[in-house]
Amino acid sequence: MTTLDLSEFRTPGRGRGILDVFTWRYLLRLLVRKGTQTRYRNSVLGWTWSYVKPAFQFGVFFVVMGLFLGLNRGVDNFAVYLFSGIVVINFFNEGFGNATRSILENGALVQKIYLPRELFPIAAIIVAFVHFVPQAVILLIACLFLGWTPSVSGVLAIALGLVIIAALSLGLGMLFGAVNVSFRDAQNVVELIQMLSTWAAPVLYTWQFVRDAVPRWLFDLYMANPLTAAVELFHAGMWFPTSDGKIPHPEHLWTNAFIALGICVVFLVIGQMVFRRFERRFAQEL
C-alpha cells in the first residue's frame, strides 16, 4: 500500500488567520474595489459625500463647541485642532463599523466558497482609509495655508497615529464582527462605542481639561487610550506646528503612544482568537 504525503495539505476551512490574507492579495484588491465603488452607488453627489459629511460634522462642532462654549478663544487655530481630531475619529468609526458588518454583508461569499474570512474586515479597514484620504487632504491644505511645514517627528507622529487606529479598528472589528454573526446585539454595542468615541479623546476639548478634572491614575489611563494617543499624535503632526505653542504637547506623548500601540496589538490577538473560534459556524449562522 502506497503512503500518501499529506504534509502539504491543510484541514479544510482552517488557515493561518491574518497571515493568509497576504496570499490572497488579488481577492483583497477586488473586495476593496467593490467597497469603494458601491459605497455611493445611485447617489447624485457620489464621492462628494466624503467631503460633505465631515464638513457638516465639523461645522456643527465648531459652532457649538467653538463659538457657543468659547473653546476657540483658548485654542489657537481651533478649526485645525478640531478637524485634526475629527478625521481620526471618523477613520476609527468607519473602519470599526465596516469591519463589524463585513461578514454579514458578504454572507453570500462566506456560504459558497472557502477563503480567509479575515479578508472581509481587512478590506473594510482599507476602504475606510480610502475615504479618510479626502478628509486628510482638506486638513493638509488648511495646515499649509496656515504655514505648516513637515518635520520628521511630525510625519512619524501622523504615521503612528494611523497605525494605531487601523490596528484598533481591525482588532475590535474582528472581535465584534465574529460575535455579530451569532448575536446581533453586538452591532448595538458597536454603535454605543462609536457614539462615545468622539468624547473619549481630546477632539472637542484639550487634554488639559482632563488632567485638571480627574485623579492622576485616571488621567494616565486616559492618555494611554489608543484613541487619545492617535488624536494627540495627529495634533502633534498637523495642528501643533501651526499653533502659538501655548498648549504644550501632552506629557510622555511618545511613551503613551507606544503603550496604546501595545494595547492595539492585544486587541488584535484577542480579536483573531475570537474570530477563529466563531468562523467555523459562519456559514451555518448566515
Note the Cα 182 to chain centre separation in Å.
Answer: 24
Q: What is the DSSP string of 22-79?
A: GG-HHHHHHHHHHHHHHTTTT-SSGGGHHHHHHHHHHHHHIIIIIIIS-GGGTSTTHH
Q: Is the pLDDT of residue 43 over 80?
A: no
* Tens of pLDDT, residues 198-208: 899 999 888 99
pLDDT at 106: 81
pLDDT bracket for residue 286 (50, 70, 90): low
Domain edges within the chain: 53-285
Average pLDDT rounded to a whole number, residues 36-49:
66
Query: In percent, how much of the chain has pLDDT > 70?
Result: 88
Q: ∠ CA(59), CA(62), CA(67), 5° rounding?
A: 130
Closest CA to 224 of 237, 207, 239: 207
Of the two residues 117 and 86, the one the predictor is more confident about is 86
Q: Is the pLDDT of residue 248 over 90?
A: no
For all residues of the chain together, what is the average pLDDT?
84
